[in-house]
Amino acid sequence: MKIAVLPGDGIGPEITEQAVRVLRALSREGLRIEMETAPVGGAAVDATGDPLPESTLKVAQAADAILFGSVGGPKYDSLPRAQRPEQGLLRLRKHFDLYANLRPAIVYPELAHASTLKTEVVAGLDLLILRELTGDIYFGQPRGVRTTESGEREGFDTMRYTEREIRRIAHTAFRAARKRSLRVCSVDKANVLETTQFWRDVVTEVHREYEDVALSHMYVDNAAMQLIRNPKQFDVIVTGNMFGDILSDEASMLTGSIGMLPSASLNESSYGLYEPIHGSAPDIAGKDIANPLATILSAAMLLRYSLDQEEAATRIEQAVRKVLAQGFRTADIAEAGKRTVGTTEMGEAVIAAL
């Protein structure tokens, strides 16, 4: 099994290095993985003038999954759009048709106080938001600004979902639920929007193939409220691109720490790009203080969803829980009475806990 490692910019190289060390530790114990590193984003612009050079795309194509750090930084902000570091990531999503964005929001008991919500509301939360990433009103045509017959200007976008697009994300949701607590909540606005009534109908049809999984439906306005009121009622939430954009950011704040949250973007053949949800954090790059746990947890998701190595994935997640229980904290989650460590030392603690 091959993993393409694309560290990127800012803290990207520091945090991916720790995830790679964790994977190497598992490989020493018999997990059969090979890793190849290639530049992406600003690092690739510096080396070749292109944020996604052909050579990097080849490394990614030859692999079963991508472990991605983060891209971007002030140095590249004035470049033409095609050369911006983020284009490297967007082109990878497009090239591999990464339509399913998985964002777990897990609140570790030791970090529950870091949330802006009451500890008892979030402690023990373990939620997976599954956002469709390549369709919906974000990509629907026609769109634009036009002048109406009465001479007034109007802006318009088009919400669209094909049956195929809904089916594949529904399958992903039910399969993900089978690796979790067997519950899916599909979020829509079926009371108002035709497209999302269709979404509800198709999700219900696909559900017939997954009778072991419980399916519920919820309107998006209610879901936004329920996520704050009682987030622990959810296991897997599946929703379209726009609702998912908003709800996944809302859910990430339940946990209170950006340095802890991994993500996956998958295509139909379980090829995936795995990355922390945070950016390249130029303000702390090169100081060995960034939290590597979101990237280490992204490596765990990679093992679970692209390489089907559930046991190895769980081992990494348990090791992360253990280091938190042992009191290791990076600066972003620092706490009086606990041991504040740097990026490298946190990586070492996870390996020791493995």
Any idea which residues carry the catalytic annotation?
Answer: 138, 189, 221, 245, 249
Is residue 111 left, alpha or beta, with left meaning phi > 0 and alpha meaning psi from -120 to 50? alpha
Nearest of 105, 66, 18, 22 to residue 315 by alpha carbon: 22
**Nearer to ligand NAD (CB atom), residue 255 or residue 280:** 280
Binding mask 155-194 for ligand NAD (x = CB under 6 A): ----------------------------------------
Decide if residue 89 touches ligand NAD (CB under 6 A). yes
Per-residue burial over 184-216, b = 16 or more CB atoms within 10 Å of its CB, e = otherwise: bbbbbbbeeeebbebbbebbeebbeebeebebe
**Nearer to ligand NAD (CB atom), residue 194 or residue 283:** 283
The piece of 70-78, 173-181, 208-216, 217-225 that touches ligand NAD (CB under 6 A) is 70-78
Decide if residue 81 touches ligand NAD (CB under 6 A). no
Per-residue burial over 311-347, b = 16 or more CB atoms within 10 Å of its CB, e = otherwise: ebbebbbebbeebbeeebbbebbeeeeeebbbbebbb
**Nearer to ligand NAD (CB atom), residue 93 or residue 167:** 93
Residue 252 and residue 192 in contact, taking contact as beta carbons nearer than 8 Å: no
How far is residue 131's CA from residue 189's CA, in Å, rounded to a whole number?
15
Q: Give least dist CB 72 to ligand NAD, A.
A: 3
Question: Binding residues for ligand NAD, how many (CB under 6 A)?
Answer: 22
Q: Which residue bears the tokens 């082109």?
A: 91
- Interface pick for ligand NAD out of 13, 72, 104, 135 (rule CB under 6 A): 72
Decide if residue 73 touches ligand NAD (CB under 6 A). yes
Decide if residue 50 touches ligand NAD (CB under 6 A). no
- Interface pick for ligand NAD out of 120, 283, 336, 337 (rule CB under 6 A): 283
- Interface pick for ligand NAD out of 18, 56, 70, 265 (rule CB under 6 A): 70
Tokens of 318: 């348990």
Decide if residue 290 touches ligand NAD (CB under 6 A). yes
Q: How many CB atoms lie within 10 A of CB 77?
A: 9
Peptide bond into 142 cis (omega under 30): yes
The piece of 153-161, 233-241, 280-288, 305-313 that touches ligand NAD (CB under 6 A) is 280-288
Q: What residues line the site for ligand NAD (CB under 6 A)?
A: 11, 15, 70-73, 86, 89, 258-259, 275, 278-284, 290-291, 294, 332
